Amino acid sequence: MDQKKLEDLLKMLQVNQGDLAKLSEQQRKDMKDYKFWKTQPVQKFGQEVDKEGPIDAQKRPEDVPADPLPMLGEFEWSTVDIEDAAQLEDVFVLLNENYVEDKDAAFRFNYTREFFHWALKPPGWSREWNVGVRVKATGKLVAFISAIPIDLAVRGKDVRSVEINFLCVHKQLRSKRMAPVLIKEITRRVNRQDIWHALYTAGVVLPSPISTCRYAHRPINWAKLQDVGFTDVPAGKTAPEMVAMYALPGKTKTSGLRRMAAGDVDAALALLVKYQRRFELVQKFSKAEFAHWFLGEDESASDDDASRVIHSYVVEDADGKITDFFSFYSLPFTVLEHAVHKELGIGYLFYYASDADFAFDDRFSAEATAALKTRLTALIGDATILAKQAKMDVFNALTSQDNTLFLDALKFGPGDGFLNFYLFNYKAFPVTGGIKDDKSYDTERRSNVGVVML
Ligand SMILES: CCCCCCCCCCCCCC(=O)SCCNC(=O)CCNC(=O)[C@H](O)C(C)(C)COP(=O)(O)OP(=O)(O)OC[C@H]1O[C@@H](n2cnc3c(N)ncnc32)[C@H](O)[C@@H]1OP(=O)(O)O
């Protein structure tokens, strides 16, 4: 396989690090050169943490200015109403053309209304937190940033937070310090609603990651990836050999596996909560949040509905007990100007849980590890089969959660993208990200990152 080309494609698929230029701009600057970030309540590089907790002294919403920061002459702030089709379209256009660097303009994220409603409208979402910048004269949207509320827990401590995502500045307005203004404005709007912490991820290194995970990619439809020019037959191999290597069974294997239904929410949520207790950085889902994130907006979507964003499954044993749960979401690419293929399906592993190691006192013991490894390999193997049935051509995962237990066995190749996790206004000890010093999968310590961001 032409590893380089495939890697290039797969890098473009990472929503959180769409900017390839930034990606290659490896590693960090000196702290003093982070002109913006050194003014913010974030951990400095190498800063010793004595005790975990907030960085800033406690403030009240009324201490925060009620009005937006001034915006440069020709631009103006614009709260984007994502329930308005035309305004949502503005966001798609901005992100399509500026979020992913694809010089040949051969591919675009196929953002849909369904995807954005799922990603940006969980329970408690705020209209004010979809912040845009428009050109005054034309109304053109040239920058965007979003926040959604989450109940985060860091090593068992509740940290009411927001998740920041989809920060984007138009290519022609890059390096003009617009990003810091957007970040300050979203901070102001979030603080006005009495929230003082944030979780965010980025491919770039900023002060200072609490954890770093690696991307892993599992080609599902190798022949199609070759057709669209992403991959070549590697030396010493033939195309049929490559197809055979990545071939998947037509049917899932786990008995009792079925799509999650509304009636499963209580049991699946309880299972997820219990499973996630092992991790140090987790999202605490309310019942309503769980239903939103895992059933999605459109419960009536049929099994083969290609527009389905979130796919959630449970395993029910003979006694009617939910023993396992997994989910993945879809964010496809549109393939431009290709004679045969119009779309490339991309699946992203989301949350999962299993009771496979619950009976063991020490989850890192050989027996507990073997039990969980066997079960997760079967479950996520089935997830790749279901992803294939849902017309996905590549399946992505990180080294977070307990993923390193199954990545190799299921032929997820290590990508060269890394994802850094950050906390705003909260200092904390590092959290393991599932990679060793040499960046290979850490199958022993695994990861203590439980939270999964879009
Ligand atoms: C309590 C509530 C708090 C809420 C807020 C919590 C914090 C949220 C933080 C945001 C989480 C976002 C999560 C996501 O969505 S990550 C996805 C980010 N988006 C992309 O990669 C899309 C393509 N790229 C772009 O659109 C632009 O290059 C962006 C907008 C990224 C930067 O625009 P531009 O290239 O024109 O630069 P500038 O001149 O305006 O500004 C330069 C300053 O910006 C710092 N920079 C560069 N990239 C990032 C980055 N990804 N996160 C944070 N900071 C970043 C940089 O170090 C420098 O600061 P300093 O080095 O001088 O100090």
Ligand 1 neighbour 430 (Cβ under 6 A): no
User: Cβ contacts of residue 317 below 8 Å, gap of 6+?
Assistant: 256, 323
Please state, in angstroms and as integers, the Cα–Cα distance from residue 201 to each residue in 61, 118, 146, 209, 233, following that order. 25, 19, 13, 9, 34
Rounded CA gap, 177 and 190, in Å? 21
Determine contact, residues 405/33, Cβ cutoff 8 Å.
no
Ligand 1 neighbour 196 (Cβ under 6 A): yes
10 alpha carbon – ligand 1 mean position (Å): 21
Rounded CA gap, 3 and 232, in Å? 8
What pLDDT tens digit does each residue of the chain (454 aa) get?
456 666 666 655 553 333 333 333 345 788 889 999 999 999 999 888 999 999 999 999 999 999 999 998 899 999 999 999 999 999 999 998 887 655 556 777 788 888 999 999 999 999 999 999 999 999 999 999 999 999 999 999 999 999 999 999 999 999 999 999 999 999 999 999 999 999 999 999 999 999 999 999 999 999 998 888 777 788 899 999 999 999 999 999 999 999 999 999 999 999 999 999 999 999 999 999 999 999 986 555 555 566 799 999 999 999 999 999 999 999 988 888 788 898 899 999 999 999 999 999 999 999 999 999 999 999 999 999 999 999 999 999 999 999 999 999 999 999 878 999 999 999 999 999 999 999 999 999 999 999 999 9
Ligand 1 neighbour 6 (Cβ under 6 A): no
CB burial string 399-408: b at 16+ within 10 A, e below:
bbbbbbbbbe
Query: The pTM is what?
Result: 0.93
Host H or E run for residue 392: none
181 alpha carbon – ligand 1 mean position (Å): 10
Pocket test for ligand 1, best of 38, 167, 170 (most atoms within 8 A of CB): 167
Predicted complex: ipTM over 0.85: yes
* Number of alpha carbons in the 13 Å side-chain half-sphere of residue 98: 19
Ligand 1 neighbour 329 (Cβ under 6 A): no
Q: Write out the two tokens for 358.
A: 């619950």
Active site residue 271: no
Place of tokens 């009536």: 300
Ligand 1 neighbour 421 (Cβ under 6 A): no
Assigned fold of 4-210? Aminopeptidase (3.40.630)
Rounded CA gap, 197 and 317, in Å? 40
Rounded CA gap, 272 and 276, in Å? 6
Please state, in angstroms and as integers, the Cα–Cα distance from residue 269 to each residue in 91, 154, 354, 422, following that order. 32, 19, 11, 26
* Number of alpha carbons in the 13 Å side-chain half-sphere of residue 351: 26
Ligand 1 neighbour 164 (Cβ under 6 A): yes
Pocket test for ligand 1, best of 16, 28, 162, 169 (most atoms within 8 A of CB): 169
**Residue identifier of the C-alpha nearest atom 55 of ligand 1:** 179
Instruction: Enumerate helices (H) and strands (E) in the chain, giving the number of each.
Output: 10, 16
CATH 3.30.70.60 for the 212-423 domain, yes or no: no
Place of tokens 């079967």: 378
Q: Which residues make up the CATH 3.40.630.30 domain(s) of the chain?
A: 4-210, 212-423
